[in-house]
Each structure stands twice: as C-alpha cells, then as structure tokens.
Amino acid sequence: MTKILILGATGNLASRVTAALAGRPGLSLRLTSSRDDGVARLKADWPDAEVMRADWYDPDGLKAAFAGVNRVLVIPPDFTTDEAVVTPNVIAAARATPGLEHVVRLLGQAPDQDPATMDPAWIATRAGTGLHPVAKALLDRSGLPLTYVNVGAWIGFNLPWFMARDVRDRRQVRLTHDALRPWLDEADIAAAFATVLAEGPVRHAGRTWLLTAPDRYRFADVARLIGAEIGQDIDFVDTGDGVRETIGDMAEAMLTYLRFEQGVWDRIPDSDDLARLIGRPPVALAQYIRNHRGIFTAMPRPVLIVGGSGVVGSVTARTLRRMQPDLPIAIGGRNLEKAQAVADTIGNAVAVQVDVDRPDLGLSDRDGFSAIVMFLKDGTLNALRLAQDLRIPYVDISTAAFEIAPEVALHLSNPVAPVLLNGTWLAGTALLSTLHYAATFKRVDAVRIGAVLDEQDMGGPAAAADYERQTTITANAMILEDGRWTWVGAEQGRRTFLGPDGTEHQGQAYSLLDPVYLGTALGLRAARFDLAYGLSAGRRAGGAFSTEMVIEIDGIGQDGRSGGMRLELGHARGQAPVTAVGVAVAVERLLGLAGGPVPAAGLHLPGTLIDPAYMVERLRRFGTTINQG
C-alpha cells in the first residue's frame, strides 16, 4: 500500500486532489491541517483517511506528518507563506523520511523566472509568481525526487473571488493590470496532480509539467463570456477598486502582485501537458462559467425540500449548502421541530411544516419557493400540482419506471413547469456516470448496472416505503434484451455480479428509469439494473455500511475493436451522500445555478438535463470513489 501525504488538505486545490485520490486501489491517504476545525472537517469528510494536525512553520510537526509516507503533495497557501522558512522545513522533513520516494510541488510561474532578478516588492507579496520561484530555487538544490506541476494559468475559483459580486451588483468586471491569461478549471488541475501522485516517481520524478489552456483571455473577454451566459451586458472597468472592496487589508499586496504578474504571461508557452495527464482536453472557460453560472446571478427564493429532515433529505440539504453557500433552503417536514433542527445546522434556511394531503401542502406562504424537491412518494400529486401552479421546477426521486403514468399525465395536462423524473438509482448518479464513460466508445451495445444496498443502509421510513412498494407491487421487472424490451419474473430476473471487493452478489432486476433511458439514448441491444440487498463491502471488512455500484459497458471502441469497461463506484458512508450529490446537482441545474439557464417547461430525466462530466466531478468532490476495475 502506497501512503500519500497531502499537506494542507482543506485548501482549494489540495481538497480536490484528496477527492480525486480517495478510494483508489493500492493508495492510502494521510491528510493534514494546521487548524483544529480543519482537522475535524477532514475527519468528517474522509473517514478512511488518516488525519493529523501539522503546521508549515513547525519543523517537528512536519517531520511527524512525513513519517512513514511514500509520496507527498506540497501546495502552500498564497499571501501567507514565507518560502524562506516553509520550504527548508519541508526539505528537512523529507530528508528525515527514509521511505519517501516522491515529492510533488505546485508551481505558478514563468519557466525562466529567477528570484535573483525579481523585484523584492514582487517576492514580498508571497503569492503565485512571486512565491514559487523562491521555493523552486531551494528545492532544485535539495536532491529530493521532485516533480513540479506548474500551473501557468488563472484558476477558475478566481471568478467568485474577484468578479462575481461586481457582475451581480454592477453588471461590471472591475480589475486592473490586464493581460492575455489562460484559465483552467481547478478540477482539471486536481486531476493532473492525482495522476502524478498515483503513477509515482517512475514516470514523473525529475519532470516539470506545465499546465496551460489553448485559449487566452483579457478581462474584457471574460466579461463578455459571462454576459453571454447570463444574458446580460457586462462591462470591463480597468480599476483596482473592486479588489480593494473585495479583500480589504490584503488589497494593496494583491494589486502589487498583479502589476508584476501582468508581464509574465507572454513568457509562458503553450503546452498540451494537461490534456496528456488527464486524458482529455481541459474544460474551456465558457464551460466553466456555465457550470458556475449561479455565482453571477441573484439567488432565487428558497428551494423547498419536502422530507428535508429525514436521513437522506438532511444530508442533501447539507450537501446543497456546500455547493451553493448563498442559496436559501426551506426544510419541509411533518415534524416542525425536526425540520428546524436541520435548518439551524445548515444556515440560511427556514423550517416549514408540510402536509402532502392538503392541496396547498399546508404552507402559509406557498408563493415563497423556487423549486420543490420530494423525498417521499406523493400519491396525491399535490406537490406537483403546486409546482405547476407556481410554475417552478419539481423533482421526484421516489417513482419507479412502472409507476410514472400519473405524473406524466398530470404534466401533459398542464405543461407549464420543468419536471425532473429522477426515479433512478441514487438520484441519477449511476445513469450519468454511465453516460460519461460510455462517451469514450464509438458504439455502445450493452450496459449492466449492479448495485449493493446494505440492509442497514435503507435510510428513513420514506426510503423503506419506496423499496417495499417497488419490490412487492410487481414480481416482474423490465429489461432490454436482444434489442427488445421485456418483463422478466423472479427467476429470469436474477443475475450474479462481482462487487468491487471480489464478492459475488446475487442481484435481482429492478425497474428503475436507468436502463430505460440508457437503452433508448444510447441505442443499446441490452440494458438492465440489478439490486443486491444484503451485506456491503464496508461491513464485510468489519466497518460501517458502505454502498457499491458496478457498471459494465460493452461495445466498440474508438479503434474499431470490440471491448468492454467495468466501472466501480463506492462511498464509505453508504448511499445517502451519493444520493445527496445527485439531488443537489439536479437542483443547481433546475435553478440555473450550474450547467445552463433554467430549463424550459417539460418532462426531463437526468440524462437530458445534466452534464455527465459535471456529475462525475461533483461525486468525486464529495467522496465517491470511481475506478475502472
């Protein structure tokens, strides 16, 4: 087992590298933070990782963090790091670690930058191109097995920091010291780091990878891209006032940094290193803006989560809060006290008492919502009717393929709102993951999905009722076989599949919308979904319940050869956090916060609305492991 140390693992990039590496076979993670709250957060987010406290300025603490590890990721924070102290501490800790084989370090500089010729005021900013050359000069002399990943671009998370508020409030982008800059998605950068760390020193030691983008933009170009996405005219204003208002006391250091950094970009050559590391072109800036369009628009009214105080609903509320910190949320439930407790924990939320037997759901302010998300089966259709009356999006995750007729008929009788039928496995996560990887084939002929649901991981009463209803109302299930849709009984519906840990599972065909959509959208000859209910890999190994999915794709590759792919998805804390991501991503999309504007009225499935690559990135970000078996 190779142990990887990620220093400062709560950081913007380091946290994403953690997500990209978590659960990969043959790797274990040790994560550090210099703060008590950071340590607590890492323990909560990554229960399978080793977590400890370590400070960049504490040599003994760094040596303890390094002890026994094989590879290390070093991404120090901007504006606060004194490389003249921190880098020698890192070097000393590395030299004191006998089994250390690889140190991977972030750079952000022109390849020819030399601290000896740089203005001291530039170095004093302790940021980016003023920070990394100092560290590189020390590391080059260290004799350590190094790989540099040099990010020669602005990173997407600069958009919310420096542009989003001005776009919302002023319809402007206010920045200064303009230049033609490449832009990269932080998720792509994290994927590149994960590749280097997972593959290790045999391929990467002694190399410098330069990550850039094929296109470069001035700030006025970025303003135009934002405007095109949100349908507004956005002006660029050359001023430092926006920086001063955004970051306060650090503004002058940032403006000094931008003045020097402005002259770096014509010294950074084009490179295809990023595409080589991640196996695809990087996400373009226009797509990044589309994926994060909600930061540039006024927040909608609260989204109502009916069942938001339940087991899965409450996890979804917390996940949605992390994805969209400013989105108002209403936690709906029969028990107002329980709903209020969840609302109090996530912030910017209210609790409302909901009665689905009433046409108005018992809501005193029924006009105060932007969308309705149902975590329970609404046999009355009152919630859907209310969404139609308000002309707001509606999400249902509880209706199987054989029971959608009432919702379809109600919508067709009054098609005035977007309706997402998400009666898929774990809220579209299996379906969209399949679509993402199926896109690598020239033609797909068959898809088989096998899922393991631990008997201790049913969720709350609503989920148990869904399972009971959908597995007992009909003894048959619908599958696609030899190009023909057919219903199979218990015997014919059984299928054996191997879980990610090699365990043989006896699955039973299950009539969800996953095979229906995949079969039609991909033109398959065979499609089925099978569920095994019993013991998960986590409990089998002596721990808590987990969740697992196995997706098998057969078809013709881009080289014209027949072949297959096996994907293994899992989460150490069971199905709730995976379902939560699926629902939260759907809410983002339906409210126009990510992936495009608010969709038109109509019946939708996850595959017709949500970008599969975006779902896969979000799943990894929130702890789902995705591996090719």
What CATH architecture applies to the domain 429-628?
2-Layer Sandwich (3.30)
How does pLDDT run across 316-362, given as a tens digit for each residue?
999 999 999 999 999 999 999 999 999 999 999 999 999 999 999 99
Angstrom distance (rounded) from CA 224 to CA 443: 37
Q: Determine the average pLDDT of the residues in 537-566.
A: 95
Question: What was the pLDDT predicted at 186?
Answer: 96
Q: What is the pLDDT of residue 88?
A: 97
In CATH, what class is 301-419? alpha beta
The DSSP secondary structure of 108-169, one letter per residue, reads: -S-TT--GGGS-HHHHHT-SHHHHHHHHHHHHHTT---EEEEEE-SEETTHHHHHTHHHHHH
What's the pLDDT at 249? Answer: 87
Q: What is the pLDDT of residues 115-161, one digit of tens each?
A: 999 999 999 988 888 889 999 999 999 999 999 999 999 999 999 99
- In this prediction, residue 34 carries a pLDDT of 95
| Whether residue 393 has pLDDT greater than 80 | yes
Confidence of residue 377 (pLDDT cuts 50, 70, 90): very high
- Residue 368 pLDDT level (bands cut at 50, 70, 90): confident
* 264 close to 133: Cβ distance less than 8 angstroms: no
Percent helix, strand, coil in the chain (nearest 5)?
A: 40, 25, 35
Q: Would you state the structure tokens that stand for residue 59, as one six-digit string?
A: 């040599």
- Quick one: pLDDT at residue 415? 96
Per-residue pLDDT tens over the stretch 407-447: 999 999 999 999 999 999 999 999 999 999 999 999 999 99
Q: Does domain 2-294 have CATH number 3.40.50.1000?
A: no
The whole-angstrom separation of Cα 607 and Cα 431 is: 7
Half-sphere exposure of 63 (CA within 13 A, CB side): 10
Residue 414 CA to residue 417 CA, distance in Å, equals 8
CA distance 419 to 407: 9
Predicted confidence (pLDDT) per residue in 514-535, tens digit:
999 999 999 999 999 999 999 9
pTM: 0.86
Beta strand extents in 438-483 (DSSP E only): 441-454, 477-481
- For the chain, give every domain's residue range: 2-294, 301-419, 429-628
What pLDDT does residue 593 have?
95
In whole angstroms, give the CA distance from residue 428 to residue 440.
Answer: 19
Same fold for the pair 301-419 and 429-628: no
Run of H or E including 127 = none
pLDDT of 155: 97
Q: What is the mean pLDDT of residues 187-208?
A: 97
CA–CA dist 4, 68 (Å, integer) = 9
Residue 351's nearest CA partner among 325, 295, 313 is 313
**pLDDT level of residue 472 (50, 70, 90 thresholds):** confident
Query: Span 555-561, mean pLDDT?
Result: 95
The length of the chain in residues reads 629
For residue 542, pLDDT beyond 80: yes
Percentage of the chain surpassing pLDDT 70? 100
For the segment 543-569, the average pLDDT, to the nearest whole number, is 95
